[in-house]
């Protein structure tokens, strides 16, 4: 089977080499030297190659594979696109305004690939199709309750909560009304009709220019190479048989592909979850000490191949809107860490320099991590090293994904290292729902009537058992260790934010003071593309092909 796959890849490369030579000789294309973003003398290919999966569809709401989901970005435009500062830029939309839990969108004058005019009814149909699907678009639209066409070019979206950044979620693909059920003469499923840059030529397995879409289109055709499984994907990429490849790096593998590369921000935050039932971890000062001891910069560079950015708070450091509000340091600050440990009542050390509990037993923390993620394993080792340097003894417990879920659900950990995706509207609910830390263990009905947006604290003696392993016995924390209670918890601030009571600064302030979870870094994605495409491509958060239609 492996020989057949390798032979198929070799033949595909040979065919591509021969045809590409012929096409390049027949139609050389030089980029416009007056375009500032393109290097002088660069050329862009008339035909390029990308991966697809023949066993999957090109319906953006039902396709399952990463290859086909990626290609749908070329076939279906969206109301807005999200740039690398997490700002919404108009695409199909000409304008948009948010007010009182509603977004009113005006459409540009556009046509689908079959020549039909794009209308508000098509947008509403696409929205409703997305909401009903099992795709990631449905998850991102969960705060939207409805959409209706006001007239032929105006749509009104209604939300079920206050969300001033909800415009960032209008990135669902626009398809023509009713075109999601199209079939060919052999009853094969056809892609819905879109208004994107390219359309599928199913017979030749290529994407060709949409003649109704603006752009110079030096890349007139995209040849599709079938890669039905991860093995064939890796072989095809490594063989250099494609000209464009994107990976979210969730497999922790940097592709072996020559060409230019670009990192793309992703709202995938790697964080430390803390056990709310552990009296040490439930202490606000202790969590602050742990956070201050971590070298986030080192973790980004060493564990995540420099394809991550150190977390400055709960939101992406690329989001300009909150740049001045997020204050977590990228490098360790041991002085601050020790000060917080002292505030937590932890001052005594043993002969080896590790902190002791009040019964003179060593304070030991168990750090839970998935053994199936090499980057997180490496990150866990670095965190252990950082905390050991501070004087906190850490034992790493690496388990399978299934075991990891079971142990986290059962609160059988002190700390755990994981990752969660935050939507483009920067909804902090993904972290809030983890129920980590004192505040997030409270009921969701907590009052949001706190008089100040700045978190206040008060001492509350608590006795609980601290988890330990090895030759160190479990120990009860004495009642004179001050465990902090936040007056305005992160959960309360989040609920108040969704109700329009608090703003994004209030939410960040509450989170940073409490640290119900400890953010480590935000992972990036990676695009690698052929030199022959020139330098006019600018992949962005919601469009990894941004600029491909304007290469000259």
CA dist 145 and 133 (Å) reads 15
pLDDT, tens digit, for every residue of 439-488?
A: 333 322 232 222 222 222 322 222 223 333 332 323 333 334 444 556 78
Q: Return the closest-CA partner of residue 249 out of 235, 268, 222.
A: 268
For 79, the token pair is 């109301």
The pLDDT, as a whole number, for residue 431 is: 80
Which of 484, 464, 461 has its CA nearest to residue 476?
A: 464
Residue 432 has φ and ψ, to the nearest 5°, of: -60, -40
Question: Which pair of tokens denotes residue 518?
Answer: 């400890």
- Classify 540 in phi/psi space as left (phi over 0), alpha (psi -120 to 50) or beta: beta
Residue whose entry in the numeric block shows the structure tokens 């250099």: 240
DSSP state of 91: S
Q: Residue 298, class by beta-carbon neighbours within 10 Å (0-12 exposed, 13-18 middle, 19+ buried)?
A: middle
Which residues partner with 89 through β-bridges? 81
Pairing of strands 364-370, 415-421: parallel
Question: Per-domain residue ranges for the chain?
Answer: 1-56+197-243+530-552, 77-195, 265-442+454-524
- For the chain, 552 residues long, the average pLDDT of each consecutive 10-residue run is 47 42 31 28 71 95 95 98 97 97 98 98 98 93 97 98 96 97 87 96 91 85 93 90 94 88 94 90 94 98 97 96 95 97 95 94 96 96 98 98 92 94 91 52 28 28 31 32 64 93 94 93 95 83 89 66
For residue 203, what pLDDT is reported? 82
Q: Can you identify the CATH homologous superfamily of domain 77-195? A: Dipeptide-binding Protein; Domain 1 (3.90.76.10)
d(CA 137, CA 158): 16
**Alpha-carbon span 468 to 460, nearest angstrom:** 23
User: Does 265-442+454-524 match 77-195 at the fold level?
Assistant: no
Superfamily of domain 265-442+454-524: Dipeptide-binding Protein; Domain 3 (3.10.105.10)
User: Do residues 285 and 343 lie in contact, with contact meaning Cβ atoms separated by under 8 Å?
Assistant: yes
pTM for the full predicted model: 0.83
């Amino acid at each position: 089977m492996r020989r057949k796959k390798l032979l198929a890849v070799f033949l595909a490369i040979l065919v591509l080499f021969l045809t590409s030579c012929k096409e390049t000789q027949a139609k050389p294309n030089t980029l416009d030297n007056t375009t500032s973003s393109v290097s002088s003398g660069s050329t862009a290919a008339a035909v390029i190659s990308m991966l697809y999966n023949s066993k999957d569809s090109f319906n953006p709401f039902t396709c399952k594979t990463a290859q086909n989901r990626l290609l749908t970005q070329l076939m279906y435009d969206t109301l807005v696109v999200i740039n690398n500062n997490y700002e919404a830029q108009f695409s199909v939309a000409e304008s948009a305004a948010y007010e009182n839990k509603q977004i009113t969108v005006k459409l540009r004058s556009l046509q689908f690939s079959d020549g039909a005019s794009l209308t508000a009814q098509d947008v509403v149909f696409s929205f409703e199709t997305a909401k009903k699907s099992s795709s990631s678009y449905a998850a991102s639209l969960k705060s939207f309750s409805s959409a209706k066409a006001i007239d032929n070019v105006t749509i009104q979206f209604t939300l079920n909560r206050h969300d001033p950044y909800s415009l960032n979620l209008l990135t669902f693909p626009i398809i023509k009304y009713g075109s999601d059920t199209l079939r060919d003469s052999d009853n094969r499923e056809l892609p819905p009709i879109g208004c994107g840059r390219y359309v599928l030529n199913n017979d030749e397995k290529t994407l060709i220019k949409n003649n109704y879409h603006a752009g110079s289109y030096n890349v007139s055709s995209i040849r599709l190479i079938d890669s039905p499984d991860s093995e064939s994907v890796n072989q095809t990429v490594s063989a250099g048989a494609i000209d464009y490849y994107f990976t979210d790096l969730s497999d922790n593998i940097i592709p072996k592909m020559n060409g230019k590369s670009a990192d793309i921000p992703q709202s995938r935050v790697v964080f430390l979850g803390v056990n709310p039932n552990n009296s040490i971890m439930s202490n606000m000062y202790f969590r602050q000490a742990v956070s201050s001891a971590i070298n986030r910069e080192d973790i980004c560079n060493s564990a995540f191949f420099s394809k991550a950015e150190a977390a400055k708070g709960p939101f992406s450091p690329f989001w300009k809107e909150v740049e001045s509000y997020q204050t977590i340091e990228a490098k360790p600050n041991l002085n601050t860490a020790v000060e917080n440990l002292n505030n937590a009542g932890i001052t005594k050390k043993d002969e080896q320099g590790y902190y002791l509990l009040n019964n003179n037993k060593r304070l030991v923390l168990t750090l839970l991590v998935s053994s199936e993620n090499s980057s997180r394993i490496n990150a866990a080792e670095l965190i252990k090293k950082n905390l050991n340097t501070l004087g906190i003894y850490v034992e790493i417990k690496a388990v399978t994904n299934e075991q990891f879920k079971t142990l986290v659900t059962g609160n059988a950990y002190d700390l755990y290292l994981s990752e969660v995706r935050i939507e483009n509207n920067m909804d902090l609910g993904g972290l809030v729902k983890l129920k980590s830390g004192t505040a997030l263990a409270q009921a969701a009905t907590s009052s949001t009537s706190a008089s100040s947006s700045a978190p206040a604290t008060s001492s509350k003696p608590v006795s609980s058992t601290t988890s330990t392993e090895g030759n160190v016995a479990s120990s009860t924390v004495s009642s004179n260790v001050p465990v902090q209670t936040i007056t305005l918890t992160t959960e309360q601030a989040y609920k108040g934010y969704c109700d329009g009571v608090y703003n994004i600064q209030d939410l960040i302030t509450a989170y940073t003071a409490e640290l119900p979870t400890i953010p480590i870094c935000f992972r990036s994605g990676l695009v690698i593309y052929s030199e022959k495409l020139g330098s006019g491509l600018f992949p962005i958060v919601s469009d990894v092909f941004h600029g491909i239609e304007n290469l000259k």
